Amino acid sequence: MAKMAPRGSGVYETIRAAVDLADVVSLFAELEDQGDMRVCFCPLKEQSSKSPAFKIYGDRFFCFSCGARGDVVDFWHLKHEFPSCWEAAQDLASKYDVELPQVSPEARASYEERRRKEDEYARVAAERHAALKDPNNATGAKARSRTMTASPNNGKEVSPTSATAT
């Protein structure tokens, strides 16, 4: 039975309601049921691990191998390398015979700009997270050492030569 989009919903909500993510992913990989989720090897990039890393939770996915995440439109966008999610949404709607609501050019531009910013913020956050975790990155290690310094120094760095026992 097809899911119904909420009344007054936009393009992306309409597609999510009409097109099942698991059905789309199953075109590219063999899915296995694991309770509330479905899993498979990453259909987006070559996966080196020996256990399924691509997880589908309802209408969202996350890949523990390549880090990709999102909904059915995001998956289609990544799989077919469309320049934007808007083009991916249009193609997906065409392939699955989904009638999309009319959207003004201003609303479309606003949504695309917001989505672009979200993607950029996520990319920057991932880079900074990786830098903080990298033991070979002096900046990341320095930041970690500042936050992990013992309380008598109130978070100030202590050089090995200035630290003396009293």
Neighbours of 55 (CB within 10 A): 16
pLDDT digits (tens, 9 = 90+) for 15-37: 999 999 999 999 999 999 999 99
Nearest alpha-carbon partner for 56 in 82, 100, 97, 24: 24
Model pLDDT, residue 11: 84
The mean pLDDT value for 128-135 works out to: 83
37: CB partners within 8 A, 6+ apart = 55, 56, 57
* DSSP per-residue string spanning 38-78: EEES-SSS---SSS--EEEETTEEEETTT--EE-HHHHHHH
Question: Residue 40: pLDDT above 70?
Answer: yes
d(CA 24, CA 62): 15
140: CB partners within 8 A, 6+ apart = 131, 132, 133, 134
- Give the pairing of strands 37-40 and 69-70: unpaired
Query: Domain 13-101: which CATH class?
Result: alpha beta
pLDDT digits (tens, 9 = 90+) for 98-131: 998 887 888 878 878 887 888 888 888 888 888 8
Question: Residue 166: pLDDT above 60?
Answer: no
User: Confidence band (pLDDT; 50, 70, 90) for 146?
Assistant: low
Cβ pair 54, 40 in contact under 8 A: yes
Tell me the backbone φ, ψ of residue 60, rounded to 5 degrees: -125, 155
Nearest alpha-carbon partner for 68 in 91, 35, 42: 42
